[in-house]
């Protein structure tokens, strides 16, 4: 699985003008299931996200996790993270098929909740408008193949 984590002070996702998910201080997580990904990878990624120390402590060092600060996450499906850029028009054939991608997206979200992080969602497969206030900015790319 691939994910882009953005440390945020707030983030929202709208579908057709309606708010479907939001978070305050925490992460906006854009996530993509790749072909061949499993529940084990979703759980491994969720555990890493929950423990990742990128929030500031009292002296201003990035020493705290999202759990340490009582933060939450907005998880948004993002199949374009699977982009193959060999040509000028990206291909997305390495992304998991839609049904599998949705299942793993939901499994990741549940695994993150099981790690003690409150989770809000986008709407899988929808044309979403995502807004955020990036804190730092801190943006981290993760791939379970590299964890």
CB of 115 closer than 8 Å to CB of 41: no
Q: Catalytic: which of 80, 92, 94, 139?
A: 80
CA 83 – CA 63 distance, rounded (Å): 32
Task: Select which of 27, 55, 79, 108 is catalytic.
Answer: 79
Confirm whether 110 is a catalytic residue.
no
Exposure string (b/e) for 67-94, b if CB count within 10 Å is 16 or more?
beeebbbbbbbbbebbeeeeeeeeeeee
Within 10 Å of residue 120's Cβ, how many Cβ atoms?
A: 21
The dihedral region occupied by 83, where left means phi > 0, alpha psi between -120 and 50, and beta the remainder, is beta
Q: Is 139 a catalytic residue?
A: no
108 is catalytic: no
Closest to 80 in 3D by CA, of 71, 93, 67: 93
Pair 102, 2: CB distance under 8 Å: no
Name the active-site residue from 6, 78, 108, 144.
78
Give me the active site residues, please.
78-80
């Amino acid at each position: 699985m691939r994910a882009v984590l953005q440390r945020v002070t707030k983030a929202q996702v709208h579908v057709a003008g309606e708010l479907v998910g939001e978070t305050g201080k925490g992460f906006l997580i854009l996530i993509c299931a790749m072909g061949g990904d499993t529940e084990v990878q979703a759980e491994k990624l969720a555990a890493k996200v929950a423990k990742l120390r990128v929030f500031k402590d009292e002296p201003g060092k990035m020493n705290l996790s999202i759990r340490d600060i009582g933060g939450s996450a907005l998880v948004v499906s993002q199949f374009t993270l699977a982009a193959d850029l060999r040509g000028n028009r990206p291909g997305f054939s390495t992304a998991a098929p839609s049904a599998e991608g949705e299942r793993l997206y939901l499994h990741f979200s549940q695994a993150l909740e099981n790690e003690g992080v409150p989770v809000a969602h986008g709407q899988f497969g929808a044309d979403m408008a995502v807004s955020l206030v990036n804190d730092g900015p801190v943006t981290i790319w993760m791939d379970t193949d590299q964890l």
